[in-house]
Chain A
C-alpha cells in the first residue's frame, strides 16, 4: 500500500491500492460486490462475470465492467448499485443457474453458499430455460479428501487456480469445451498433497465438498469459534465448528494475512480426532489400594497431590506441547516453589513440513514455552530423566500422555509418585492422581507461533462436568503448597 490512488465508490472517496483489482477496493470500502471466481488469495480471471459494477472514468459515459478484472485508475467513479449493474448481475445469475441442479436440500454448502445468497438478493425467482439441465457425475471421487459434484459446478475455476498457485501442484483442469466443460483431474487420477481441503473452502458452491464433512451437519447448526490450529508451530488461525455444542465437526482456516493467509493444511484440518475421543477424564481420580480408581473432587485430588509433592524432594514438572502461555506461566511459578525448572515434551518433527505452511514441528506453542523458561526435551529424554532420579513427577496438559507415549506413562515405576493432568486417563497402577483438564476447544489461552505471532484459542464447548481449568488447578496446587509451610519444599 505504498502509492494509493483516490477513487469514488458509491459516492464516497476511498484510498485504493492500484496493484489490486477494483473489486478489492470495493470490498475494502465495505461495499458488497458479489463474486464467485474472484478470491483475494488467487489471481483474478473474470470467468463468472457476477461482479459487474458501473464505472465512470472522466468524461466517458458510465459502463458496466467486471470489477475483478478492472485495474484501478485515479478518479474512477464506481457505482455498485447502479440499475444497469444490477440487471447485468441478474442476467449473469440466470446463466449460472441454467445448469445448476438446485439440490440445496441435499447440498452441504447450503447456508454458506454464495450462489444461494446472491440468487436470493438479486436473482429472479423462476428460470426461463426450457432446455433440460446437464446430466453429469454427481459423485466424482477426487481422492481421499474431496468429492466433486460436476452438476453443481459453475466453472469459476477457483479450484484449478488454487492448486496451481498456492501449493504449486497443478492437478485440476477444466476439460472439454463450451457447455461440456467440467472440472477434472488429469486422467482421473486422485488428488494428492496436503492442501486439498482448501478446495472445499474456495469452491463458492457445493461442487467440491469434504468427504469427512459430507452430510455430517447443516452449517447453520454449527457453533463457530475463532481458534488456532494445534497441528504445528505455524499456528494457523482457524474456526472450530461444533455441532450442538458437542462434537467438533469441522475446522476451517480463518483469514490471517500475518500467519496463514486464507489456507491451512489437511493435517491440521482433519487433526481434531483427539478432541472428539470418548472416555474423557471428568473431575479427578485417585488411585485407591483396593479397587482401582476413586472418583473425587479436583480440590481433594489436588490436596493429595500437594501431600505427595511436599514429602518428595526431586520433583519433575513435565508440560505438554499444547500448554498455553498462561498455563505455562503458572507452571513456571509452581516450579520455582518446588525448586525445579519445568520441561515440555518436544515431539519429533514429522514428515509434513513444506515451504508453504506446515513447519513439521508438532508443537504449537514452542516459542511461547521456551520464552517462559521451559526446557524443550524429546519424550525419550524426559522418560530417562524421570527414571534416573525423580521421586515425583507431574505430567501437565492436554494430551501429555499421548506426547510421552501412553505405554511409557503406564509403565512408569511404582515407587514414583505420578500426578497426571490430562484430558484422558491412563489406566495404570503407575498413576497415583489423575486430574482432568479441558482440551483446546474447551479453554481459552494463547499460543505463540514460530514467528512470534500470538494465536488465541477460545472455548467452543464446555469441558466435562467437574473439570477445572488447568490454570485454576495449578494455581490451587501452588496455593496449597504455600499455605502449609511445614509441608512445602524449599
Chain B
C-alpha cells in the first residue's frame, strides 16, 4: 500500500486569485506570439521523400506502367491489401497487370510492397489523405493508383540512395 501525501497548498494558492491571474498572464502572452496551429485542409502537412504515404504505381516516361505483375508486393503485403491479375502484352516485357487493386482500408502503409518490388514500379507516395463515402470506393484500382514517374521522383531517388548505402555497407 502506498500512502500518497497530498501537497499542502501555499498561501498564494490558498488565496486563489493570484493563481488565476498567473494562468491568465500565460494566456495573454500567447496571444501575441505566432500561432503554431495548422489550418489543415487549406494548409497541407509538409512532406519529404521520407514520408511514407499511400503506395502508388509508377507510369514510365513512355506511358507504360512499370509493373510486370510479378506478385511479389502481393506476397509481401502483411495486410493482404493487394490483389493482382496479370495478362500478356506485346511489349518487350511480356507481362503487365490486368487488374491491380489496393484496398486502402487494409493498407497499413508499411512500405513492404515498395521494398519487395524488383521493377521499381510501386512507391510510397507523399499522398496521405484518404476519405470516401463507401468502402468500395477505397479499393483503389490501377487507374487510381497510376502516377507519372516525375511525381514520385523524390521518393525513387531516396530509395535508390538508401539501397545503395545498404549495398555498400552490407556486402562483405
- A106 and B94 in contact, given A214-B88, A215-B87, A216-B86 (Cβ under 8 angstroms): yes
List CB contacts (< 8 Å) of A140-171 with chain B: none
List the 4 closest pairs (A to B, CB-CB), nearest first.
A105-B70, A218-B71, A215-B86, A106-B95
> B: which residues have CB within 8 A of A?
68-72, 74-75, 83-88, 93-95, 118-119
Is A96 positioned at the interface, with any CB of B under 8 Å from its CB?
Answer: no
Contact of B119 (CB < 8 Å), options: A105, A110, A215, A216 = A105
Query: In the complex, what residues of A have CB within 8 A of residue B119's CB?
Result: 105
Q: Does A220 contact B (CB under 8 A)?
A: yes
Q: How far apart sit A216 and B71, CA to CA, in the bound complex (Å)?
A: 11
Best-buried of B86, B93, B119 by chain A (most CB within 10 Å) = B86
Q: How many residues of A contact B (CB 8 A)?
A: 14
Instruction: Report chain A residues within 8 Å CB of B70.
Output: 104-106, 110, 218
- The answer to whether B74 touches A221, judged by C-beta atoms less than 8 angstroms apart, is yes
The complex places the Cα of A106 from the Cα of B92 at a distance, in Å, of 11
Residues of chain A within 8 A of B95, CB atoms compared: 105-106, 215
Q: Are B68 and A106 in contact (CB under 8 A)?
A: yes
Q: Which residue of A lies closest to B88 (CB)?
A: A215
Give the contacts of A210-233 with B (CB-CB under 8 A): 214-218, 220-221
Residues of B within 8 A of A220 (CB): 71, 75
Are B86 and A105 closer than 8 Å at their CB atoms?
A: no
Once the chains bind, are A218 and B74 in contact (CB under 8 Å)?
yes
Q: How many A-B residue pairs have CB under 8 A?
A: 37
Contact A105 B94 (CB under 8 A): no
Residue of B nearest to A244 (CB): B83
The complex places the Cα of A105 from the Cα of B121 at a distance, in Å, of: 12
Contact among A104, A106, A214, A216 for B93, CB-based, below 8 A = A106
Contacts of B84 in A (CB 8 A): 218
- Which residues on the B side are within 8 Å of A110 (C-beta)? 70
Complex CA distance for A217 and B68, rounded to whole angstroms: 12
Which residues of chain B come closer than 8 Å to A189, judged between CB atoms?
none
Chain B residue with minimal CB distance to A139?
A: B94
Q: Give min CB distance, B166 to chain A, whole Å.
A: 14
Closest Cβ of chain A to B124, distance in Å, is 20
- Give the Cβ gap from A385 to chain B, nearest Cβ, in Å: 47
* Residues of A112-163 contacting chain B, CB below 8 A: 138-139
Q: How far is the CB of B157 from chain A (nearest CB, A)?
A: 22
For this complex, 7 residue pairs linking A to B, each with C-beta atoms less than 8 Å apart, are A105-B68, A106-B94, A138-B94, A215-B86, A217-B85, A218-B71, A221-B71
A104→B94 CA distance, assembly (Å): 12
What chain A residues lie within 8 Å of B74 (beta carbons)? 218, 221
Chain B's closest residue to A102 (CB) is B118
A221, closest chain B residue (CB): B71
- Closest chain-A Cβ to B146's Cβ sits at a distance in Å of 19
Q: A105-B118, A105-B119 are in contact. Are A215 and B94 (CB under 8 A)?
A: yes
Measured CB to CB, the nearest residue on chain B to A243 is B85
Q: Give Cα A221–Cα B84 distance, bound, in whole angstroms.
A: 10
Most chain A CB inside 10 Å of its own CB: which residue of B69, B75, B86, B94? B94
Could you tell me if B88 and A105 are in contact, using CB atoms closer than 8 angstroms? no
Rounded to whole Å, the gap between the CB of A335 and the closest CB of chain B is 46
Given the complex of chains A and B, what is the CA–CA distance between A448 and B72 in angstroms?
41
What are the residues of chain B within 8 A of A216 when measuring CB–CB?
A: 86
Q: Which A residues touch B118, using CB under 8 A?
A: 104-105
| Neighbouring B residues of A138 by C-beta, 8 Å | 94
Q: A104-B70, A215-B69, A220-B71 are in contact. List 20 more A-B contacts (CB 8 A).
A: A104-B118, A105-B68, A105-B70, A105-B95, A105-B119, A106-B70, A106-B93, A106-B94, A106-B95, A110-B70, A215-B87, A215-B88, A215-B95, A216-B86, A217-B85, A218-B71, A218-B84, A218-B86, A220-B75, A221-B74
Q: How far is the CA of A217 from the CA of B84 in the complex (A)?
A: 9
Q: How far is the CB of A241 from chain B (nearest CB, A)?
A: 15
Query: In angstroms, how far is the closest chain A Cβ from the Cβ of B155?
Result: 21
Minimum Cβ distance to chain B for residue A330 (Å): 40
Instruction: Tell me the minimal C-beta distance from A380 to chain B in angstroms.
Output: 43
Kindly provide the distance from the CB of B4 to the nearest chain A CB, expressed in whole angstroms. 59
The residue in A106, A138, A214, A220 that gathers the most chain B C-beta atoms within 10 A of its C-beta is: A106
In the bound complex, do residue B72 and residue A105 qualify as a contact, i.e. CB atoms below 8 Å apart? Answer: yes
Chain B CB within 10 Å — which of A214, A218, A220, A244 has the most?
A: A218
CB-CB under 8 A from B83, the residues of chain A are 244
Closest chain-B Cβ to A293's Cβ sits at a distance in Å of: 30
Cα A110 to Cα B95 in complex, Å, equals 13
A214 vs B95: C-alpha distance in the bound complex, in angstroms? 9
Contacts of A244 in B (CB 8 A): 83
State how many angstroms separate the Cβ of B85 from the closest Cβ of chain A.
8
Q: How far is the CA of A138 from the CA of B95 in the complex (A)?
A: 12
Smallest beta-carbon distance B117→chain A, Å:
9
- In the assembled complex, how far is the CB of residue B69 from the closest CB belonging to chain A, in whole angstroms? 7
Q: Which residues of A contact B87 (CB under 8 A)?
A: 215
CA A218 – CA B69 in complex, angstroms? 9
